[in-house]
Amino acid sequence: MTSSDEAKMRAAPAVWDCHTHIYGPYDRHPLPDGAVYAPQAAPFGALRAMHRSLGITHGVIVQAACYGSDHSALLAALDAGEGAYRGIAVIAPEMDEALLAQMAARGVKGVRIGLMSHLGNAFDAGRVRAMVERIRPYGWHALVHGTPEDVVRAVEAVGHLGTSLVIDHMARVAVSEGGLARQLENVCALLRNESVWIKVSGVDRITAGDLGAPQARSVLEHLLAAAPTRAIWGTDWPHPNLSYPVPDDRALLAWLQAAAGDDSLLRAVLSENPSRLYG
């Protein structure tokens, strides 16, 4: 990222990182017994320091799967964020209404529907519909995290309900396997629905850490062309559950800036679009 790029970002009214997680501090927010994974501590203070170093003014914190239904760390971070951060919860259809209302009041704007098998999830159309019905009164969106096949099934199940759906991490398309063109075609078809958004985060996850992979740039270009006014971006800090070296957040931002190739499009992805969704 050049000094000119940084100056453009700092001149923008808001610059959003729409995908982060926090872990700890563990003396105040310990992991529950049987957590699906046990990451190193990555508290809100470290997240905010990273954002300030990159000129990022606003952030979205996604409830970490390892915390299950305990949202205390997330809510404490939102309280400390002075209005600059929003939250994505992980709920069960039967969650207490008072807790949902409290989350909404403290900055939660959506729920994550996890469909990735390595986190112990599986697609259940009835459960997906039930969760979306629970959040509709709050105006929240659903963040759908799964493979292209699972994302298609989720959108088919609830895409007609009018709730905004955000496809997480570029639908985890597999650039190193066959069938990439078909996967992209299916995801782009979903984006014809005006209620469906795309998060162009996780480029390292679809390339096993190779930010120079030419397929990754092609994926981004297709997704941005399909939904330029409904695309958002995130770092995925602190990058949990990787089998390759942790990517540098500055390099991830530089990759987006280079691959987007257009100042107005970059401004939409980093500022205008997320400000509409989360503002």
Q: Give yes or no for residue 256 having a pLDDT over 60.
A: yes
Residues 164-178: what's their mean pLDDT? Answer: 91
The CATH code of the domain that includes 191 is 3.20.20.140
In this prediction, residue 6 carries a pLDDT of 57
pLDDT at 5 over 60: no
Look at residue 11 and tell me whether its pLDDT is greater than 60: no
Entry pTM: 0.93
pLDDT digits (tens, 9 = 90+) for 122-163: 778 898 999 999 999 999 999 999 999 999 999 999 988 889
Q: Domain range spanning residue 38? A: 3-278
Structure confidence by residue, pLDDT tens digits, 45-75: 999 999 999 999 999 999 999 999 999 999 9
Domain count, the chain: 1
pLDDT classification of 202: cutoffs 50, 70, 90:
very high
Distances in Å between the Cα of 85 and the Cα atoms of 8, 75, 106, 160 are 21, 10, 10, 29
| Each residue's pLDDT tens digit, 76-128 | 999 999 999 999 999 987 889 999 999 999 999 999 998 876 655 677 889 89
Query: Helix, strand, or coil here: 230?
Result: coil
Output the pLDDT for position 123: 76
Under the banding of pLDDT at 50, 70 and 90, the label for residue 2 is: low
Residue with tokens 């400390």: 80
pLDDT for position 159 = 85
b/e map of 157-176 (b: 16 or more CB within 10 Å)? bbbeeebbbbbbbbbbbebe
pLDDT at 117 (0 to 100): 62
What's the order of all strands across the beta sheet hosting 108-114?
16-20, 58-62, 85-89, 108-114, 141-145, 165-167, 196-199, 231-232
Q: pLDDT value at position 92?
A: 81
Q: What does pLDDT average to over the chain?
A: 92
Which of helix, strand or coil describes residue 52? helix
